[in-house]
Chains A and B, each alone.
Chain A
Amino acid sequence: MARLSTDHLLGIQPLTADDIELIFRTADEFKAVLQRPIKKVPSLRDITVANLFFENSTRTRLSFELAEKRLSADVINFSASTSSVKKGESLLDTVKNILSMKVDMIVLRHPEPGAPHFLSRYIDARIINAGDGTHEHPTQALLDAYTLREVFGTLQGRKIAIVGDIRHSRVALSNIYCLQKLGAEIMVVGPPTLIPPTIEALGVRVSYRLREALEWADAANVLRIQLERQRVRYIPSLREYARYFGISRATLDALQSPPIIMHPGPINRGIELDSDVADSSASVILQQVENGVAIRMAVLFLLAQKIRQSV
């Protein structure tokens, strides 16, 4: 009953709606813990977590580290830029070396899609995917959906637009899986070159006009243009992108009922979002960041229940 159906959090795709609800209910209680004078509980005091980041991250890494520390886990951090990966060590060797130091859980961010799935077949530790290339970013999708659940009560029948660089976004894919499992309808919107041609197969609507999508949506999750993943030029210029797909106060004011604005961060101000939207009451961006810690505590807590059991 109150137990996740999976031993790892590799993505949203393998989760059930019950798993997601369990994570949310647990996060509710952690959110309450974070309001207390002592924001720390001893649940994971005998657990060691390694945060392995083979790709840059500020928010996600800090959020995971804070979640781990508030659960009293021992934490070690590793980032590829300062490690032996530079000397040519393979992923499996790096991780096996770390695990031989008795690590129970791994939080992995890696530029290659499927890296955490690969590891899960070879090592005996609970794995949390903190972003694998352009594939999935499950904890981001969970905190996005959790934030929407706080705003709307339920996601059943809600309309969510995902705006921008859908092609390179792991946030988009995880969001689509997560929101659909919770009963929401999805529309993706962006320049045709940044929307995968077969995305309708996932059961989402597609639009190439921002205004149309924003009129339709109850909430808009605005993504960052990921220039670092674009090997060819998909858009003529950032200025043109901002002109057609950037959201400003004027864009929202022209709508009958403007949607709630979300963004997974980091924001390119003046490109996908203007400051007068990002900092306005229409935005729940900082609420997303706050919820990120509670969601990650819930995921770590629930997966830690699987540690002894599998030995």
Chain B
Amino acid sequence: MKSQGKDILSSERFRLTLRRLAHQIIENYPDLSDVHIVGIQESGVHFSQRMVEELRQVSSAQTVHHGKLDISFFRDDYHLRTDPIEVKPTELPFDVEGKRILLLDDVLYTGRTVHAAMTALLHFGRPRSIELMVLVDRRFNRHFPIRPDYTGITVDALDNAYVRVEWAEESGVDRIRMFASDS
């Protein structure tokens, strides 16, 4: 039987966390037009859209460069997965060459998604730098030497636990939930 999930970030704290992360971006990019936000399909795309809204609210920036990246064709576990991969659009409305890229994903766990995203991004050109922002950093069971530059919350959970970010656009409420193993 699937266990009941528990909230590890309520909607009130969720809002504060998004705002803090937006301020951290502003702190590191005095000129906001330098940063190019790229959400990883598809959960990272919700995150990036919200971050772009947040940045517009807390700064006077008119334009915040942003796009979305699909990594289906770049996954290293393509043949090992039992669940099928649904390919999603990639939209990068700017030239990656020489730009400062900020990759966004909701949960960082093994690091394989971020690794694939960097491989995918490099197919569009040579960015000046790539930084990583995640809403949830699951510190244990990392497979690659990848660490986030900006973190919403850090979660120490067992390997068989499952962390899910829920967005108001989809489920009606912003929150982060954790589920124990379902086996």
Instruction: Report A's interface with B, CB cutoff 8 A.
Output: 1-3, 25-26, 28-29, 32-33, 36-38, 40-43, 46, 71, 301, 304-305, 307-309
CB of A262 to closest CB in B, whole Å: 26
* Contact present for A29 and B90 (CB under 8 Å): yes
* Contact present for A41 and B123 (CB under 8 Å): yes
Is B70 engaged at the interface, CB distance under 8 Å to the other chain?
yes
CB of B107 to closest CB in A, whole Å: 21
* Contact present for B119 and A2 (CB under 8 Å): no
- For B125, what are the chain A residues with a Cβ–Cβ distance below 8 Å? 37
Known interface pairs A3-B84, A29-B87, A307-B79. Does A43 touch B73 (Cβ–Cβ under 8 Å)? Answer: yes
CA distance A33 to B90 in the complex (A): 9
For the complex with contacts A43-B72, A308-B80, 15 further pairs of A-B residues with Cβ separation under 8 Å are A1-B84, A2-B86, A2-B87, A3-B84, A29-B73, A29-B89, A32-B90, A33-B73, A37-B123, A41-B73, A41-B74, A42-B119, A305-B78, A305-B79, A305-B85
CA distance A71 to B125 in the complex (A): 19
Q: List 24 A-B contacts (CB under 8 A).
A: A2-B84, A2-B85, A3-B84, A29-B70, A29-B87, A29-B88, A36-B123, A40-B123, A41-B73, A41-B74, A41-B123, A42-B73, A42-B119, A43-B74, A43-B78, A46-B79, A71-B73, A301-B73, A304-B79, A305-B78, A305-B79, A307-B79, A308-B79, A309-B82
Chain B CB within 10 Å — which of A36, A40, A42, A304 has the most?
A: A42
Nearest 6 Cβ contacts at the A-B interface: A41-B73, A3-B84, A2-B86, A38-B123, A308-B79, A2-B84
- For A309, what are the chain B residues with a Cβ–Cβ distance below 8 Å? 82
Is B124 engaged at the interface, CB distance under 8 Å to the other chain?
yes
| Chain B window 63-103, contacts with chain A (Cβ cutoff 8 Å), 1 for yes, 0 for no | 00000001011110011101011111110000000000000
Q: Classify the interface of chain A: helix, strand, loop or mixed.
A: loop
Instruction: Report B's interface with A, CB cutoff 8 A.
Output: 70, 72-75, 78-80, 82, 84-90, 119, 123-125
- For B87, what are the chain A residues with a Cβ–Cβ distance below 8 Å? 2, 25-26, 29
Nearest residue in A to B122 (C-beta to C-beta)? A38
Nearest residue in B to A308 (C-beta to C-beta)? B79
CA distance A90 to B18 in the complex (A): 66
CB of A47 to closest CB in B, whole Å: 8
CB of A46 to closest CB in B, whole Å: 7
- For B90, what are the chain A residues with a Cβ–Cβ distance below 8 Å? 29, 32
- For A38, what are the chain B residues with a Cβ–Cβ distance below 8 Å? 123-124
CA distance A310 to B154 in the complex (A): 39
* Contact present for A37 and B86 (CB under 8 Å): no
Nearest residue in B to A33 (C-beta to C-beta)? B73
Nearest residue in B to A71 (C-beta to C-beta)? B73
- For B86, what are the chain A residues with a Cβ–Cβ distance below 8 Å? 1-2
Nearest residue in A to B81 (C-beta to C-beta)? A305
- For A36, what are the chain B residues with a Cβ–Cβ distance below 8 Å? 123-124
CA distance A3 to B86 in the complex (A): 8
CA distance A307 to B80 in the complex (A): 10
CB of A260 to closest CB in B, whole Å: 26
- For B119, what are the chain A residues with a Cβ–Cβ distance below 8 Å? 42
- For A42, what are the chain B residues with a Cβ–Cβ distance below 8 Å? 73-74, 119
CA distance A110 to B78 in the complex (A): 31
CB of B27 to closest CB in A, whole Å: 33
CB of B112 to closest CB in A, whole Å: 13
CB of B38 to closest CB in A, whole Å: 15
CA distance A159 to B89 in the complex (A): 30
Nearest residue in A to B90 (C-beta to C-beta)? A32
Nearest residue in A to B88 (C-beta to C-beta)? A29
CB of A195 to closest CB in B, whole Å: 39
Nearest residue in A to B78 (C-beta to C-beta)? A43
Nearest residue in A to B125 (C-beta to C-beta)? A37
CB of B100 to closest CB in A, whole Å: 19
Partner pick for B89 among A32, A41, A46, A71, CB 8 A cutoff: A32
CB of B79 to closest CB in A, whole Å: 4
Chain B CB within 10 Å — which of A25, A29, A38 has the most?
A: A29
- For B82, what are the chain A residues with a Cβ–Cβ distance below 8 Å? 309
CB of A302 to closest CB in B, whole Å: 9
CB of B87 to closest CB in A, whole Å: 5
Nearest residue in B to A41 (C-beta to C-beta)? B73
Nearest residue in B to A301 (C-beta to C-beta)? B73
Nearest residue in B to A26 (C-beta to C-beta)? B87
- For B89, what are the chain A residues with a Cβ–Cβ distance below 8 Å? 28-29, 32
CA distance A142 to B80 in the complex (A): 28
- For B70, what are the chain A residues with a Cβ–Cβ distance below 8 Å? 29
- For A29, what are the chain B residues with a Cβ–Cβ distance below 8 Å? 70, 72-73, 87-90
